[in-house]
Each structure stands twice: as structure tokens, then as C-alpha cells.
Amino acid sequence: MGDSTLFSSALLSSVLRDLAWLVATPDLVELPPPIPCGGRPTLKELGLEGALLPWLGQLGRPPLTALNGSRATRMGHYHERLWHTLLDHAPNTRLLARNVRITRQRNTLGELDMLYRTRDNPAPIHLEVAIKFYLGLPEGPGAANSQTRWIGPGGLDSLALKCTHLQRHQLPLSTTAPALETLAHWLTPRDLGGSDLRLGEQLTQRLAMPGVLYYPWHAAMPAPEGATADHRRGIWCYLRDWPALSASFSATPSMIELEKPHWLAPPPASVFRPAAEVLPTVIDRVNTWRSPQQVMLCYPTREHSEQRYQRLFIVPDDWPRQVPLPPRVRD
């Protein structure tokens, strides 16, 4: 599924485009049991079904200034602030707490990303969020569809490690005694809706993990186990393969290099430039930094198509220099 073209032309602000992309982008994976975990907040739950574009147009300057996306470089922090803005300003939700640190005897056990409630239900919802960009290895550890074969551009993280950490630590954390004690302190009686139920019986867990999976251009590869059917896709190629990839295009696309934290929504078509102008800088960075560089292609002949934009990582010829080990198997 390609990046939607709807919002990039209608919204001038990069932050507004990123907010639109966030709510319209499917999660990468669905986690299996035993952790009972719901999916991301839906447009209907947010009160934005059929009203997203007008709401974004009316979103005031203070929320956008608080996001400060132009100065943020940590993708995870920027992504969390986008969710804070959505949950705190959408018509049907209210943000109750964010980045709640859970401790036991002065030892930090972890943080809960955020808690929110809906207008129709006072029960608090624990939401964990993550945004991930993984490249698939046609040859690597595990079976062809193993999550261990999907790794981050730097080779330090994998889809398998992230899903395991979510299932074993991040999501169960809110059900522990120290977490429930901390949340009871954070939440007011109004937050709990005056219910006779205990907090542990009210609290539900949700996960939002949007992102992109980049498939190798030079080899066929299946989707990883647990991937959603409509997850966003890109491609990656070795630097040495760029001439062959370029020659395969039926029409020459324009190009722009993506810079963090704005790896989310496509930029306006007007800022794309001929690939021949952008490539020298990209190639220089691949060689100098010895690291993958992400660009986005824009096809002029697909103006009204979902496939107008294509994400591409150009990676060094010796990439990856390291591959994360698979998660430890529990006894």
C-alpha cells in the first residue's frame, strides 16, 4: 500500500501532514496472545471519522508549536508528541497522563507511554506507541518469514526484538502492582468515573505501531510473520544496484531526501527535484557515513494514484555490517 496523496497537497504544515499520515497508516503487525491487547485508536474513537481534514485545518497554533517537529531529531519522541496532540485535542478523547515512570524500591521498571479516556467511557486506556522502519533480509536468521530478518537501518534493532519487548515488558508493565499503585496516584476519581471496579479491572491496553517495511529490490521476500495485510511498504537497494533500478522505471521519478523526524508523510510534490540533482548528495552520505539513506520518489504520471510516492533506502554495498541476534527463548 502506498502513501496517501490526499493530505500532502492539502496541508502546508509538515506537522499537520504527519498527523494525517499517522492516523491513516496501518500498524505494521498484530501481536498474538497471550497479552490481550487492542489496536490503535480509530478515527471513530477519536471523533474524527469523516472530519479529519477540517479538524487538522482548525488545529490551533499552540499544539503545533509544542510539537516543535522542525527541531526534533529523535523519531520516537516526535512520534509520541504527535499522539499526545491527537489524544489531547481530538473531539472524543482526553489525555490523562504521559511518560509515567514506574519504580519499585527506587529502581525504574519502565515507563508507560500514555493513558487516555474517551468521552463515552471513563475507563482509562494504556496506550503504547512505537514507529518503526525495518528493512528485510532475503538471507538471514530464521525462516523466510521470520521477524528476525527485518532489521533497522543501523542494524541494532529488529522487528522480532521489538515485538518480544512489547509482549514481555512494555504491555504487561501496566498490570503490575507498582504500576497500578502509581496510576492510582496519578488518576483522579473523575478519571475513574466513580466506578466501583478496581483500577486493574478497568484498565485496558492498546498498541499503535505504524511504520514502513522495506522489501529488497533485488530479491523476492515474503512479509514477516504477523504483518498486517495493508502495512506500508517501501524498497531498498544496494548502492551498486541503483543504475539498474533507475533503468527499470517506466517514467523518470523526481526525488527528495527524507530527514528525521519527518519520515512520515510525503512532502508536497512541489519540493521534489530531478533525481540527478539529489543523488550526488545521497551517494556521498552513503559512502561517507557508511549508512543507509532514505529518499522518496514521486512519479509524475501517477498524480491521482495511491502509488504516486515510493520510499527507497539506498544502502552501502556491504550492508548490513551487523544483524541483531534473535530474542532469547524463554524456558
Mean pLDDT of 22-50: 86
Q: Are the CB atoms for 208 and 129 separated by under 8 Å?
A: yes
Answer yes or no: is 325 within a domain: no
Residue 121 pLDDT level (bands cut at 50, 70, 90): confident
Q: Compute how many other C-beta atoms are within 10 angstroms of the C-beta atom of residue 25.
A: 22
Return the pLDDT at 201.
67
The answer to whether residues 194 and 45 belong to one domain is yes
The answer to whether residues 38 and 127 belong to one domain is yes
3-state SS assignment for residue 305: coil
Instruction: Classify 105 in phi/psi space as left (phi over 0), alpha (psi -120 to 50) or beta.
Output: left
Residue 145 has pLDDT above 70, yes or no: yes
Helical H segments across 187-304, by residue range? 199-202, 242-247, 275-289
Return the pLDDT at 196.
44
Answer yes or no: is 330 within a domain: no
The answer to whether residues 116 and 263 belong to one domain is no
The answer to whether residues 166 and 232 belong to one domain is no
Global pTM reads 0.92
pLDDT in tens, 265-307: 999 888 999 999 999 999 999 999 999 999 999 988 776 666 8
Mean pLDDT of 66-85: 77
The answer to whether residues 201 and 236 belong to one domain is no
The dihedral through the CA atoms of 29, 33, 34, 37 has a sign that is: positive
Answer yes or no: is 321 within a domain: no
pLDDT in tens, 215-245: 999 999 999 999 999 999 999 999 999 999 9
- HSE, side-chain direction, 13 A CA sphere, residue 267: 18
Q: How far apart are CA 197 and CA 205, in angstroms?
A: 16
State residue 16 phi and psi, 5-degree precision.
-65, -40
Return the pLDDT at 183.
85
The answer to whether residues 99 and 22 belong to one domain is yes
Answer yes or no: is 54 within a domain: yes
Q: Are the CB atoms for 257 and 311 separated by under 8 Å?
A: no
Answer yes or no: is 326 within a domain: no
Q: Are the CB atoms for 241 and 218 separated by under 8 Å?
A: yes
Q: Are the CB atoms for 255 and 272 separated by under 8 Å?
A: yes
The answer to whether residues 219 and 207 belong to one domain is no
Answer yes or no: is 328 within a domain: no
Q: How far apart are CA 66 and CA 68, in angstroms?
A: 5
- HSE, side-chain direction, 13 A CA sphere, residue 209: 23
Q: Which residues contact 70 (CB under 8 A, 6 or more apart)?
A: 14
The answer to whether residues 26 and 167 belong to one domain is yes
Question: Which residue among 212, 235, 255 closes a domain?
Answer: 212
The answer to whether residues 164 and 236 belong to one domain is no
Averaged pLDDT score across all residues of the chain: 87
3-state SS assignment for residue 13: coil
3-state SS assignment for residue 102: strand
Residue 4 pLDDT level (bands cut at 50, 70, 90): low
Q: Which residues contact 186 (CB under 8 A, 6 or more apart)?
A: 96, 97, 100, 115
Domain count, the chain: 2
How distant, in Å, are the alpha carbons of 29, 35, 109, 214, 227 from that of 233?
13, 27, 34, 6, 11
Q: How far apart are CA 146 and CA 18, in angstroms?
A: 30
Q: How far apart are CA 41 and CA 291, in angstroms?
A: 34
Return the pLDDT at 251.
83
Residue 11 has pLDDT above 90, yes or no: no
How distant, in Å, are the alpha carbons of 90, 242, 275, 285, 294 from that of 278?
38, 13, 5, 11, 12
Could you tell me what percent of the chain has a pLDDT over 70? 85
Answer yes or no: is 32 within a domain: yes
CA 37 to chain centre: 17
Range of the domain at 108: 6-143+159-212
The set of cell numbers assigned to 48 is 474524527
The answer to whether residues 276 and 190 belong to one domain is no
The answer to whether residues 108 and 119 belong to one domain is yes
Q: How far apart are CA 73 and CA 17, in angstroms?
A: 17
The answer to whether residues 260 and 244 belong to one domain is yes
